[in-house]
Amino acid sequence: MEDIRDTIFKGIADKEFRALLIPERDGCLSGTEEAQRLTGEIGAKLRLFLYEGDSVKAGEPIGEVIAAPKIMAMAEERVIGTLSKFSGIATASQKAVRLAQGKIRIVSGSWKKMPPAIKNGVRQAIVAGGASFRISSTPMVYLDKNYIRMLGSIPAALESVRGCGDLAKVIQIKGKENSIEEETKQAVENGCSILMVDTGNLEDVVRCTKKIEQMGMSGKLQIAFAGGVKLEDIPKFIDYGIDMLCIGKEIVDAPLLDIKMDVELQKN
C-alpha cells in the first residue's frame, strides 16, 4: 500500500528540514537512548542538547531533529512519544525525591507491572529522577504475601532463604493473616532485614514501629511503606520512622511531559 506521505511530500522530497524539540512544562529528561535508537532506525538525525536526568524548562529547546519531510513526519511519531512518556515518569520521580527532603528513600517497584517492551525505559526513568526501582540497594530476596501463603507462614518463608548468604530478606506484611504486631514479631524474630508495611494505612506503621521498639530492635532493620501513596502526601510521612516510601502509579503512570516538535520555516 502506498504511503500517503510520499504523495504529500513528492515536490519537496529532496529537501532537508530542522525541527526543535520543546517541552511544554518544567521536568526531568528521560528516554534519550531509546529516542536516539528509534530515530536512527529511520535515518533521522537527533541531536539532544541535554543529557539523561537533566532538568528541562518549559519553552526551552532540548534538542533538534534533522530529516527529509517524510522521515521528519515518521520521527515525530517516534521521538515525541518516547521522550514524553519516560520524561513524565522521571519528572514524577524527581518530584517525589524532592518532597522527601532526603529523609526518606523513594522507591518505585511498579515497573514490574509495565509491558515488557517498556520495562527497561521505565526503570531508567525512575533512576533519572533520583528514585530507585529496587527496595534494597544490595542483593535481596523479596517475600510477598503469595510466597508467604504458599509456604504457610512468615517464619517458613524466611526459613526457606536462611541459607542464602548475605541477601537482604524483605517481608511484605499486610495484617490479614495475623495482626500487624504479630506479623512484625514473626518477621523480626526470623531474620527479616526490611519490613514492607503494604497496607496504605499509616496507623499500621505506628503499630509496626512500636512493636519493633518493644522488641529492642529499633535501628536494626528497615521499614518500608506502600499502598496508594500520593506525591503530595510525601512530607507527612517523614516523621513516622519510615526508611523507604514505595510509590507505584503516581510515578510509573505519571502524566506525559508534553513535548512539541516544531519544524523551522524555510527561508526563500
- 132-183 pLDDT, tens digit each: 999 988 899 999 999 999 999 999 999 999 888 789 999 999 998 899 999 9
CA–CA separation, 32 and 39 (whole Å) = 11
SS3 category, 167: coil
Nine-digit cell at 238?
Answer: 517523614
Tell the burial category of 267 from Cβ atoms under 10 Å away from its Cβ (0-12, 13-18, 19+).
exposed
pLDDT digits (tens, 9 = 90+) for 56-71: 999 999 999 999 999 9
φ/ψ (deg, to 5) at 54 = -70, 150
**Element (DSSP H or E) covering residue 189:** helix 180-189
Taking only the tens place, the pLDDT of each residue in 183-207 is: 999 999 999 999 999 999 999 999 9
Cα separation, 14 vs 101, in Å, equals: 53
Task: Look up residue 121 and give its three cell numbers.
Answer: 525505559
Contact 53, 128 (CB under 8 A): yes
Type of residue at 143: L
Percent of the chain with pLDDT over 70: 99
Query: What's the whole-model pTM score?
Result: 0.91
